Each structure stands twice: as C-alpha cells, then as structure tokens.
Amino acid sequence: MAKLYFRYGTMGSAKTLNLLAVAHNYRSQKKRVLVLKPRLDVRFGPGIVESRAGLRAEADMLVDPDTALDPARFEGLDCVLVDEAQFLSVAVVEQLRALTRAPGLPVICYGLRTDFRTRLFEGAARLMELADSIEEIKVTCQYCNKKAIFNMRLQGGRPTVDGAQIQLGGDESYVPVCYPCYASKIGEIGDPHPVRNAAESLRS
C-alpha cells in the first residue's frame, strides 16, 4: 500500500519549494501529479502555490473543510502533493489517508505543525496521528543559529500572542524561532511563561 507523508517545518523552511521540486521531478519523468491546497489560502491569489523563492504553480484542486474527495478523480495519477496541509479539516485528512489504499497513491503533505501559540493545527494534528512517515524540514531561528521549532506572529514588527489561530501572512507577519528566543521575545511583552500561558488561553 502507498504511504501518507507529512513533511512539516516552520515558516520559511522551504516547504512549498520542496513541494514544487517534487512536482517537477515527477512531471519530468512523464508522471502525473495532482497538487492540492486549501481554498482559504489566497496569499498569492486563488489557487496559486508559491514559494518564498518566487517559484509558483497553479493548484489542480482546491478543498474546503467539507470537501468530499471522489477516488475516481485520482485514478491514473502517480502522486498527490498537498500544500498548507495544516489548514485541512480532519475529514479531508482522513480522505487523503484513504487514497493511499484505493486507488493506492502516495500522498505527500507539506505544512506547519503548530500555530503562533505553539498549539497543533487541526490538519497537522490528524496528520501526526495518521501519517506513515513524518519528516521535519529544518531551518534556523530568525534570531540565532539554533533550529527553529515555533512560528512567532508579529504585529507592527513586534511579537504577539493575540488574534485568531488562522491569520494569513508572510515574512512581515511570522518568523521562525527556537524555544529560547520565543520565550525571550514573548516575555518582553509581559508573558513570563509563553508556552504554558498560550496553551491555557486556548483551553479557556
């Protein structure tokens, strides 16, 4: 049976660039690839998959939280590639899992693991539970040379823990950070226990 892959990393870790490279490699071998993404991601225009390096492609399929994936639509393909997988609903992730069995396609999902409060996104959480292979795409912290593991949200150039979980943005809105830098920067705005308090704020 084909596998479900989850390749995650922070903002700026070249996840989309990796996806586009994989798509190019398949197509250069005359193989059929379908690129799928959540409809809500309109940062670069409706249906556009674009990396920070400037490479772009058009998605073949856009999905909503309640989208029903017809297995017949995927017959004859060699691979399914998913961008911004953290925004997928549990139902869509489970349908992607099913595609690895019938029609039997590898499905490679790229996305964030956690939000700016260090909590798992819905789609990422289900992928962590269901994926055959979980791979980290690494990048260094914005402020030091440690590995980045969190996404810090900026507002007016300053870190914040306020706002909705999903807020689209680029380098002006998010930076990749390690835990010590996250704790230090969030502490500067008056939160001495940023990870613990972020988690508590979501539960309340």
Which of the residues are catalytic?
84
Integer CA distances (angstroms), 173 to 3, 104, 166, in order:
34, 38, 12
- CA gyration radius for the chain? 17
